[in-house]
Amino acid sequence: MLKKNILQTIFSDHFEYIQYVIRPDKNVLDNINRMILCHDPSYGGAFFGCPHCGNLKFVPFSCKSRFCPSCGNVYNQKRAFRMSCKLVSCIHRHCVFTIPEELRIFFLKDHSLLNCLFHSVRDVILRMFFKLKNQSSKGHPEGFYVRAKPNLCSPDITIKYISRYLGRPVIATSRMDAYDGDSVTFHYQRHEDHKTITECIPAIDFIKRLILHIPDKHFKMVRYYGIYAKHHKQEKNLRKCLSKQK
């Protein structure tokens, strides 16, 4: 059996506690279980043979869970390629919308509110760019914190940033520095001052933090609006106005 990565080890060591004490919903538990068993040869695999030398290689099946570090990375690459085929090759403005801390508890309890969030962000953007023109907005009366400084970027940078959050755990295994069976030590870069912060917390608390970010089944992590909308009636006409390079 292949050696487990640090994330698989943490979750497999505490799986019974997760299942019977934390008791997450079926979708979360299924993603955790699949991640733990990823590339486990006892669950089957496929043989690949060389047509020249005849050597065979057995490759265990992957879990294809976006919560899995390795499978999530593959998903990111495929998703990034599909996005690159869709985005127009021109400068994009990157805006980050966050929910006030006082309201986050409601989104954690009811994930369906995230659908309303997408539509609300769309409405805010329409106001920002079609009514306020070039003004930057630091806040919004409907309850959003908007970071809209003039950080313009190419499609490649946009895709790279977005794809990081689409199909992998919220923290990479390379940032998990140590695990002793009870506690997990990890590091991250603080956005405010770009300082590297190291934390050591109980493994159960670490697990609780991570599973909060497992999306509901069939939840769409990326939404397209405006010219990028799938059935936008003006999409073809707008694209005709762009140069072939774009």
Question: What digits encode the pLDDT tens for the residues 25-52?
Answer: 999 999 999 999 998 888 888 999 998 8
237: its two tokens: 């006409």
CA 53 to each of CA 7, 28, 56, 57, 141: distance values in angstroms, whole numbers, following the listed order: 37, 44, 9, 12, 68
Q: What is the mean pLDDT of residues 112-127?
A: 85
Q: What is the model's pLDDT at position 206?
A: 96
CA distance 213 to 112: 14
Higher pLDDT: 114 or 183? It is 183
pLDDT band at residue 151 under the 50/70/90 scheme: low
Nearest partner of 69 among 5, 2, 3, 162, judged by Cα? 5
Long-range contacts (CB closer than 8 Å, 24 or more residues apart) made by 195-203: 203/10, 203/13, 203/14, 203/179
**What percentage of the chain carries pLDDT values higher than 70?**
80
Summarize pLDDT for 72-90 with one digit per residue, the tens.
777 777 878 888 877 777 7
Amino acid at 27: N
pTM beyond 0.85: the answer is: no
Residue 36: CA count within 13 A, CB half-sphere: 15
